[in-house]
Structure 1
Amino acid sequence: MKGLQDSSMAIRSFIVMACLIVIMAGVKAASPIVVPFVLSAFLAMICNPAIVTMTRYKIPKGVAVLILMLFIVLIGLWLASLIGSSINEFSKQVPVYRTQLIDQFSWILEKLKSFNIHISKDKVLDYFDPSVALSMTTNMLSGVGNVMANLFLIILTIVFMLFEAQTLPKKFHLALDDPDMRLKQIDKFLQSVNQYMMIKTLVSLATGAVVGIGLTIIGVDYALLWAVIAFLFNYIPNIGSIIAAVPAVLLAFIQMGPGAAGITAALYLGTNTVMGNVVEPKYMGKGLGLSTLVVFLSLIFWGWMLGSVGMLLSVPLTMIVKIGLESSQSGNWLSILLSDASELDAESVENTASVDSESEAQPKLIDSANQHKQENSQDS
C-alpha cells in the first residue's frame, strides 16, 4: 500500500514538472504577445491610484483615464525622442571620445613602460571602448523600445484594465471559489504588488532626479539620458544600478579624468545606498517577503523568459508565483523556500503565540469542567 502511494506521488510530481515545462515553453514562444500584456498590467497598477485620486475630486472616470493616457503618451514620445537623439549624438562623438580615452591612459602606459610592461593603445581601446559601454545599455533599452513600438495596443489594454480595476479583486475571489472573500492571499497579493510598484516608481524617480542633477553639476555629457537610464534600471534589482552607472562613469573618465570618474561613481553609490537601504525600506516595510537569492535568480529567469521587460518586472512577477504557491497546500513548501528570513521569523512567532494561547486555554477549560462536576455532585 505504501509502495502504491509513493509511486502515485512520484507520478504526480513528474506530471506537475512536465506541465511546468510545457507552460514555460508556451510563454517563451508567445513572448511577443505576453510581454506587452504583462507591461500593460503593471502600468495599469501604477496608474490606478492616480485615477482613484482624480475620481475623488468629482472628475468622471472616463475623463480621468483620458487625461492619464495623454500624459503617458507624451512621456513615452519624449523618452523615445530623448534616448534616440542622445544615442545618435553619442555615436557621432565616439571617435572624439576614443582620442580622449587614449590621452587619459597615456600617462598610465608611460608609467608601465618604466617597469618593462608594454601595452599597445589598440589593446586599451579593445577593453575600454566607450561604444561598448553604451551598447550594453542600449541593448537592454532596445528590448523595452521594441515593446513600446506596440504603444497603441498597450494604451488600449491599460484603458480597459483601468475600467476593470475596481471589480478585479472580486473576480479573483470568485475565480478561486471564494465568493465570501475569505481568501486573504489575494488581498495580500494585490496590496503588496500595488505598494511595491508605487514605492519603486517614486524611489526610481527620485534616483533619476538626483543622478541627473549631480551629473549636470559634475559636467558629464548627456546627463538627462543617464538620469532616464538610472530611473528605468532602478526597477532591476541588485544589478540595475551598476549597469546604469557604467557608461556615465566611463564617460566622466574620458572627459575629465579619474577624479571626475571617482566623483561620478561616488554619486551613484551614495544615491543607490540611501535610496535602496534607507528610503525604500522605510516606506516599503518588509517589502514583498522574497529572499535576496530568490530576487537575483528571478532576475535571471524572467530576463530569459521575457527579455528586458521581464528583468524590470522580475520581483512582482515572482511575488505572483509566491502568492499562488501559498494558496495551495501542495505548493506551500515551495513558497517557504522563496520567503525572506524575516517573514519566516514572523510566522514562527505567530505560530508559537497561537500554540501558547491554546495551551493556556486548555487547562482553564479543564478546571472549569472539574468545577462544574463538583457543583453538580454537591447539588445531587
Structure 2
Amino acid sequence: MTDQRLVPRALIGLLCTASAVVTLAGIKEVGSIIGPVLLALVLVLAVSPVRTWLQRRGAPGWTLIAVPLTIVLLLLLGMVTILTIAVAETANLVPAYGPQFDQLLAEAQKLAARFGIGTEQVNQTIKSFDLGKIFALVQGFASGLLGVFTSLILIVVLVLAMCLDARSFSQVLASGAAHRPRFVQALGDFAHKTRRYLVVSTVFGLICSVLDVTALWLLEVPLPLLWGVLALITNYIPNVGFVLGLIPPALLGLLEGGPKTMIFVILSYMLINFVIQSLIQPKFLGDAVGLSTTMTLLSLLVWAFVLGPLGALLAIPLSLLVRALLIDSDPNGEWAAALISGEVPAGERP
C-alpha cells in the first residue's frame, strides 16, 4: 500500500523536474526578450509606490505614468553611463599596470624559490597569471549587464506599457480576490517583498559604498568612486557579489601600493561588509526574502546560468516571483514554503 502511494509521487516529482528543466531551457533561448521583460517588471514594482502616492494626492492621470517612467528612465541612463565607464576604465587598467604586475610575478617566483618550491610546475603556474584575465571577470560582468541595458528602447516601451496597464491590472486583481484569494495574495506578497528587498538593499548598499569609497580614498587606491559604484551594483548579487566588488580595488591596491595596501583593502571591505550587511541589514530586511541561505545560492546559480549577469542581479526577485506563482498561491504549499524559507510555520513549531 505504501509503495503504491510513493510511485505516483515519484513520477510527479520527475515530471515537475523535467518541466522545470524544459522551462528554464526555453527561457534561456529567448533570454534576450525575457531578460528585459523581467527587468522592466522589477523596475515598475520598484517605482509603484510613487504612482500610489501621486494617486492619493489627486494628481492628474498623465502624471501617474510620466513620473514613474521618468524615474525609471533616469535610473537606466545612469546605469548605462556607469557601466560604460566601468568597462572602459577596466580595459585601460590592463596596459597601465602591466609592468607592475610582471614585477610582482617575478618577486613571487623568487619568494617561492626561497621556500624550496621553485619547481618548473610552480613557475609555470605563476607565469600563467594574466592581468587581463583577472580584470576580465569584472569587465565581463559589466559588459553583460551593459548589453541588456543598451536595449533601452525595448525596456522603456515595456515599462511604459506596464505603467499604462497598472491601474487596470490592480482592478482585475481586486475583483478576482474573492475567487482566487491565495493567488492574489501571493502576487501582492511578491510585490511587497520585492520592493522591501530593493529598498533595504539599496539603502545599505549606498552606506557600504560610501564607506568603501572612503577607505579606498584613504588608502590611495585609483578610481575609488568607480569601485564604490561597482560595490553598490554587486550588492544585489547574493553570496558572491561582495567578492566581485572586492577583486578590482584589491588588485589595484596590490599594484599601486604593494601587498600591505591590498591587505588593508581586503580587511576594510570585510569589516564594512560584516558590520553593515551581516549584522545590521538582516534586522531591517526581516522576512522580506523568504529564502534560506541554500535556496539563495541555488537561485543565484540557476538564474545566472539562464539569464547571465542580469539573472545574477535579479536572482532574488525572480525567485520570489517563482515562489509566488508555484508555492504561495497553492493552498497546500505551506510545507514547501517552509522548506525553501528554512522557517517552520508558527503553528507547527515544537
TM-score by length of 2: 0.84
Distance 1:107 1:326, change over 3 A: same
Deviations 1:342-379 (A, max 9, x none): x3153424xx8xxxxxxxxxxxxxxxxxxxxxxxxxxx
Q: 1:117 to 1:91 in 2, by over 3 A?
A: same
Aligned-pair distance for 1:7? 6.2
The residue aligned with 1:250 is 251
Shift of residue 325, structure 1, vs aligned partner: 1.1
Identity %: 24
- Counterparts in 2 of 1:309 and 1:174: CA distance versus 1, 3 Å: farther
Q: Relative to 1, partners in 2 of residues 1:166 and 1:277: Cα closer, same or farther, differing over 3 Å?
A: farther
Note the C-alpha offset of 1:4. Answer: 7.4
Q: Which residue of 1 aligns with 2:197?
A: 196
TM-score, normalisation: structure 1: 0.79
Work out whether residues 298 and 314 of structure 1, in 8 Å CA contact, stay in contact via their aligned partners in 2: yes
| CA displacement, residues 308-366 of structure 1 (integer Å, 9 cap, x when unaligned) | 111111112222222331322455443332122xx3153424xx8xxxxxxxxxxxxxx
Which residue of 324, 337, 340 corresponds with 1:338?
A: 340
Question: Quick one: distance in 2 between partners of 1:38 and 1:56?
Answer: 27
Q: Which has the larger radius of gyration?
A: 1
- Are 2:25 and 1:25 equivalent residues in the alignment? yes
Task: Say what the alpha-carbon RMSD is for the aligned residues.
Answer: 3.2
- Are the aligned partners of 2:105 and 2:127 in contact in 1 as well (CA < 8 Å)? no
Task: Point out the more displaced range, 200-209 or 30-39.
Answer: 200-209
3-state SS of 2:47 partner: helix
Q: Residues 328 and 173 (structure 1 numbering): CA distance in 2 closer, same or farther, change over 3 Å?
A: farther
Residues 13-65 of structure 1 show CA distances to partners (whole Å, capped at 9, x for unaligned) of: 55444433332232222211111000000011111223334555554353364
> Offset at 1:285?
1.7
Tell whether 2:160 aligns with 1:147: no
State whether residues 176 and 184 of structure 2, in contact with CA within 8 Å, keep that contact through their aligned partners in structure 1: no
Distance 1:235 1:228, change over 3 A: same
Q: Distance in 2 between matches of 1:152 and 1:51?
A: 22
- Cα offsets for 1:267-321 (capped at 9, x unmatched): 2112221221233222222332211011101110111112111111111222222
Which residues of structure 2 form unaligned runs of 5+?
none
Please tell me the residue identity of whatever aligns with 2:296. V
Structure 1 counterpart of 2:73, one-letter code: V
Partners in 2 of 1:248 and 1:17 — Cα distance?
41
Query: How has the CA–CA distance of structure 1 residues 23 and 170 changed in structure 2, closer, same or farther, with 3 Å as cutoff?
Result: farther
- Equivalence for 1:295: 296
Secondary structure of residue in 2 paired with 1:165: helix
Which residue number corresponds to residue 83 of structure 1? Answer: 83
Task: Tell me which residue corresponds to 2:99.
Answer: 99
Work out which structure has the larger RCO, using CA pairs closer than 8 Å and 6 or more positions apart in sequence: 2
Q: Deviations over 1:52-94 (max 9, x none)?
A: 3455555435336434434443443344344334433443342
Quick one: distance in 2 between partners of 1:68 and 1:177?
A: 30
Distance change (3 Å), C-alpha of 1:95 and 1:117:
farther
CA contact (8 A) 2:141 2:309 kept: yes
Aligned to 1:51, what secondary structure does the other structure show? Answer: helix
SS in 1 for 2:344: helix
Offset of 1:167 from its aligned partner? 4.6
1:348 matched residue in structure 2: 348
Q: Could you give the per-residue CA deviations for residues 105-162 of structure 1, whole angstroms, max 9, x where no partner exists?
A: 55554444334443788753532x3322221012122221111121111112112323
Residue pairs, 1:312-331, within 5 angstroms:
312-323=313-324, 324-329=326-331, 331=333
Give the aligned partner of residue 208 of structure 1.
209
State the secondary structure of the residue aligned to 1:221: coil
